[in-house]
Structure 1
Amino acid sequence: MINEETFASRLTSLREQKKVSAREMSLDLGQNGSYINRIENRKAFPSMQCFFYICDYLQISPAAFFDDTTKAPHALDALTELLKNLSIEQLELIAQIAREFSEK
């Protein structure tokens, strides 16, 4: 279950993966420069609308935000988009490679 602490940690992790500062992200979202920092420090919590803006900014779905088993959801989403255009044979080859990586 996600709470303010895990929400803040997940936001920090995803923001750092995007290689953007909390201030830059805040300003890009049209917020006060300390907005994201306040969320990450558990001094504020975003509204539902702002949460959706955060997800759009991070280029992930709300479900991916809460799925902490996926370390880099934006990379996974980008890969998924590329895979949609491949043939069954190509997908099977990629699945085989992925299985080999996961065994190591």
Structure 2
Amino acid sequence: MDENARYEQFLRDRITELREQRNISEHRLSLELGKSGSYIRSITSGLTLPSVRELFNIIAYFEISPAEFFTGLEDKTSLRVALTEKLRELSDEDLEKVSTFIGWIKK
């Protein structure tokens, strides 16, 4: 699968995942976004892709950031992804310590 196809599949799967977490139908989500009842179905079936503006509307609907939406797009086995997940669990105080350590390493 080429990169574009992988990104498109991720987008469709992620919308479905978030929608199912909220226990909301494709039809209802479409209507709540101010679209026709089949809008989300056309995206998740691969018939169409949302515009960037509409993608941001979908992301905002789920009350997450674009970064959170795209979490998991990278190879889950990569060290960068594993570290990012661990960083999300740290307190602000611990994040400051990590930042200091990284600054020390870069010197």
The TM-score normalised by the length of structure 1 is: 0.63
Query: Residues of 2 paired with 1:50 and 1:16: CA distance?
Result: 19
**SS of structure 1 residue aligned to 2:57:** helix
Task: Give 5+ residue unaligned stretches, structure 2.
Answer: 74-87, 95-107
Name segments (4+ residues, structure 1) moved above 2 Å. none
* 1:15 lines up with 2:31 in the alignment: no
The match for 1:56 among 52, 56, 60 is: 60
Higher relative contact order (CA 8 A, sep 6+): 1
The one of 69, 77, 84 aligned to 1:65: 69
Q: Which has the larger radius of gyration?
A: 2
TM-score w.r.t. structure 2 length? 0.61
Which of 23, 26, 30 is matched with 2:30 structurally? 26
Q: Percent identity?
A: 38
5+ residue gaps, structure 1 = 70-79, 92-104
How much does 1:6 deviate?
Answer: 1.5
